[in-house]
Structure 1
Amino acid sequence: MEPLATTFCPLESTEYSRNESLNETTLSSKYDYSYMSICLVICLLGLIGNGFLIWFLIFCIKRKPFTIYILHLAIADFMVLLCSSIIQLINIIHSQDIPQLAYPVVFMISGYNTGLHLLTAISVERCLSVLYPIWYQCRRPKHQSAVACALLWALSVLVSGLENFFCILKEKPRFPECRYVYIFSCTLTFLVFVPLMVFSNLVLFIQVCCNVKPRQPAKLYVIIMVTVILFLVFAMPMKVLLIIGYYSNSSDHTVWEPLPYLNLLSVINCSINPIVYFVVGSLRRKKSRKSLREALQKVFEEKAVVGSRETVAHFSLPS
Structure 2
Amino acid sequence: MDTSDDYDYQDYDYRDALNDSAQEENPFQHKTTCTKEVLCVFVLVVSVFIFLLGFFGNALVIWISGFKMKKTVNTTWYLSLAISDFVFCASLPFSITNMVMEEWVFGRFMCKFISSVMFLNMFSSIFLLVVISIDRCVSVVFPVWAQNHRTVNKASVVVCISWFLAATLSLPSLIFRDVGSHLGRTLCYNNYTSSQYSHKIIAVTRFFTGFVVPFIIIIICYSIISLRLRNNRMTKSAKPLKVMSALVAAFFVCWLPYHVFVLLELNHEHFDQTILIYGLKVSTFMAAANSFLNPVLYVFMGNDFKRKFKNSVLSKMENAMGEEGRTTSRYLSRSSSMDGRASTHI
Whether the TM-score (by the shorter chain) exceeds 0.5 is yes
Which residue number corresponds to residue 222 of structure 1?
242
CA displacement, residues 33-89 of structure 1 (integer Å, 9 cap, x when unaligned) = 332122212221111111111111111011111111111111111122222332012
Check conservation: 2:91, 2:117, Cα contact below 8 A. Answer: yes
1:175 aligns with 2:195: yes
Q: Please show how residues 51-200 of structure 1 align to structure 2 within 5 Å.
A: 51-92=59-100, 94-97=101-104, 100=107, 101-140=111-150, 143-166=153-176, 171-175=191-195, 178=198, 179-200=200-221
Query: What is the CA–CA distance in structure 2 between the aligned matches of 1:181 and 1:257, rounded to whole Å?
Result: 21
Which residue number corresponds to residue 7 of structure 2?
none
**Percent of paired sites with the same residue:** 19
Check conservation: 1:47, 1:82, Cα contact below 8 A. Answer: yes
Q: Aligned pair in 2 of structure 1 residues 181, 310: CA closer, same or farther (>3 Å)?
A: farther
Check conservation: 2:81, 2:128, Cα contact below 8 A. Answer: yes
1:33 aligns with 2:53: no
Query: What is the CA–CA distance in structure 2 between the aligned matches of 1:48 and 1:192, rounded to whole Å?
Result: 32
More deviation, 188-197/37-46: 188-197
Query: What is the CA–CA distance in structure 2 between the aligned matches of 1:237 and 1:127, rounded to whole Å?
Result: 28
TM-score of the pair, normalised by structure 1: 0.78
Query: 1:142 deviation in Å?
Result: 5.5
CA displacement, residues 227-252 of structure 1 (integer Å, 9 cap, x when unaligned) = 10111111232133223323544996
Query: 1:99 deviation in Å?
Result: 7.0
Query: What is the CA–CA distance in structure 1 between the aligned matches of 2:37 and 2:330, rounded to whole Å?
Result: 62
Q: Secondary structure at the match of 2:191?
A: coil
Which residue number corresponds to residue 279 of structure 2?
258
Q: Aligned pair in 2 of structure 1 residues 67, 312: CA closer, same or farther (>3 Å)?
A: farther
Query: What is the CA–CA distance in structure 2 between the aligned matches of 1:121 and 1:306, rounded to whole Å?
Result: 18
Match of 1:304 among 327, 331, 336: 327
- Amino acid of the residue matched to residue 295 of structure 1? K
More deviation, 101-110/170-179: 170-179
Query: 1:132 deviation in Å?
Result: 1.4
Query: What is the CA–CA distance in structure 2 between the aligned matches of 1:81 and 1:240, rounded to whole Å?
Result: 23
For structure 2, the 5+ residue unaligned runs are 5-17, 22-32, 179-188, 337-346
Query: 1:202 deviation in Å?
Result: 3.1
For structure 1, the 5+ residue unaligned runs are 9-24, 314-319
CA displacement, residues 292-314 of structure 1 (integer Å, 9 cap, x when unaligned) = 2112222333313887456569x
Query: 1:215 deviation in Å?
Result: 3.9
Query: What is the CA–CA distance in structure 2 between the aligned matches of 1:288 and 1:298, rounded to whole Å?
Result: 13
Check conservation: 1:80, 1:109, Cα contact below 8 A. Answer: no
Which residue number corresponds to residue 25 of structure 2?
none
More deviation, 162-171/49-58: 162-171
Query: What is the CA–CA distance in structure 2 between the aligned matches of 1:98 and 1:81, rounded to whole Å?
Result: 19
Query: What is the CA–CA distance in structure 1 between the aligned matches of 2:308 and 2:285, rounded to whole Å?
Result: 37
Check conservation: 1:80, 1:107, Cα contact below 8 A. Answer: yes
Check conservation: 2:88, 2:117, Cα contact below 8 A. Answer: yes
Q: Please show how residues 195-210 of structure 1 align to structure 2 within 5 Å.
A: 195-206=216-227
- Amino acid of the residue matched to residue 48 of structure 1? F
Query: What is the CA–CA distance in structure 1 between the aligned matches of 2:308 and 2:259, rounded to whole Å?
Result: 44
TM-score of the pair, normalised by structure 2: 0.73
Query: What is the CA–CA distance in structure 2 between the aligned matches of 1:28 and 1:272, rounded to whole Å?
Result: 29
Tell me how large the CA RMSD over aligned residues is.
Answer: 3.4
Query: What is the CA–CA distance in structure 2 between the aligned matches of 1:154 and 1:26, rounded to whole Å?
Result: 37
Match of 1:232 among 246, 252, 259: 252
Check conservation: 1:227, 1:273, Cα contact below 8 A. Answer: yes
